[in-house]
Amino acid sequence: MNLRKLFRSLKNDPPAPGDPPSTQSAKPAAPEAAAAAAVTEEQVVDVLRTVYDPEIPVDIYEIGLIYGITIQPPGKVVIQMTLTSPGCPVAGSLPLEVEDKVLAIPGVTSVFVDLVWDPPWGPERMSEAARLQLGFL
């Protein structure tokens, strides 16, 4: 199974021919440069700090699950992330939560969460604040 396809949200895909019109209100169109300029890595990081692995009382950014953030015009956000282990019980839900929360940032037009396993996550990836909070310091 291709994990990239698994975690890609259907709500960002264009409607297929013959699909009924969407009942959701569309976001106002913005020029590509304005949309991209409106989204910053700081905004994305702030949102990622609101997402928690339910087994660890520290947000996913501070525990080092985020490997990279790329923002491309017009507001496309690509996030490389991992999980604490391939058998993590939130493997099916955590990337979708990340996608949903980042998609709510004004100016973001699409989000792609790239779940990666290399390099594997380890406690050394945690920030000093996370280590302190978890009693590792």
114 pLDDT tier (thresholds 50, 70, 90)? very high
Whether residue 122 lies inside any domain: the answer is yes
2 pLDDT tier (thresholds 50, 70, 90)? very low
Q: Which domain holds residue 113?
A: 32-133
CA distances from 73 to 14, 40, 80, 95, 108 (A): 18, 11, 17, 22, 9
Tens digit of each residue's pLDDT (9 = 90 or more) over 19-70? 444 333 334 444 444 444 589 999 999 999 999 988 888 999 999 999 999 9
Whether residue 68 lies inside any domain: the answer is yes
- Token output for 20: 């009924």
- Higher pLDDT among residues 116 and 24, named by residue: 116
Whether residue 115 lies inside any domain: the answer is yes
Whether residue 9 lies inside any domain: the answer is no
Whether residue 3 lies inside any domain: the answer is no
Tokens 């199974």 belong to 1
Task: Output the pLDDT for position 54.
Answer: 84
Whether residue 46 lies inside any domain: the answer is yes
Whether residue 19 lies inside any domain: the answer is no
Task: Output the pLDDT for position 6.
Answer: 39
| Number of domains comprising the chain | 1
| CATH code for position 81 | 3.30.300.130
